[in-house]
Structure 1
């Protein structure tokens, strides 16, 4: 579950984070994806049937990484471990597409069709790890 500090950090950062899934051989498959938060879940849009989607269908364990050092000497980060599933149903995709469009500042027209071949990854965080690194003084 995401606490208030984790939510605030997620909302304050750029729209990209790294998703890591487990490949068939157990190695990490890591890719940057756009994201948004809704009801303590992380949502990431993607093309369906990609390697990350196949990996999640085989093993739902994922790790998300968001790090920031924008314009300051303080480096902050958040790593979320959790369980993911793939959303493909049109009745689930439509509100997610609308939310993603709002976050980008480009509202979606009500009659815009759902693009073919898309899916959303929904991550339910089960563990939150955070850090702050400040420069040494002196």
Structure 2
């Protein structure tokens, strides 16, 4: 895939994205999680103080994997190497929450006006994107 095709694929949200952080024991910590993309970044909402958040605070380097397809003829995906930032600021979280709602088709009049206590966002800024599309060989 070209870079623009990779972003189109990411923005199409074909499924859960796998977030991999570096665990305190040196092993990868990988979890499937919801996400959305905007302005060249990938945003993930979750509860604060989870293992993934603690790992990111210790080491901001993460990877994200998104894959779809069921046979070799139609498998495609991306591996994203990124630097992550934990966002706890209420105003920033509210803006991100509203952006996520708009992407889901929520009317502007119905956008969230407050943030959920104990929640945060992870903002992933891609450093490198590797992609594959076996159906395009």
TM-score w.r.t. the length of structure 2 is 0.87
1:1-138 pair list within 5 angstroms = 3-69=3-69, 73-107=73-107, 109-110=110-111, 112-134=113-135
Q: Check conservation: 1:15, 1:36, Cα contact below 8 A.
A: no
Query: How many aligned residue pairs are there?
Result: 135
Task: Tell me how far 1:133 sits from its aligned partner.
Answer: 2.2
| Cα displacement string for residues 36-81 of structure 1 (whole angstroms, at most 9, x for unaligned residues) | 1111011000001100000000000100000011699310010000
Q: Which runs of 5+ in 2 are unaligned?
A: none
Please state whether the residue corresponding to 1:25 is helix, strand or coil.
coil
Q: Which runs of 5+ in 1 are unaligned?
A: none
CA RMSD of the aligned region, Å? 2.5
Q: Check conservation: 1:16, 1:33, Cα contact below 8 A.
A: yes
* Cα 1:119/1:107, change in 2 over 3 Å: farther
Please state whether the residue corresponding to 2:24 is helix, strand or coil.
coil
Distance in structure 2 (CA, Å) of the matches to 1:131 and 1:11: 16
Please state whether the residue corresponding to 2:99 is helix, strand or coil.
helix
* Cα 1:74/1:110, change in 2 over 3 Å: closer
Distance in structure 2 (CA, Å) of the matches to 1:5 and 1:106: 26
TM-score w.r.t. the length of structure 1 is 0.87
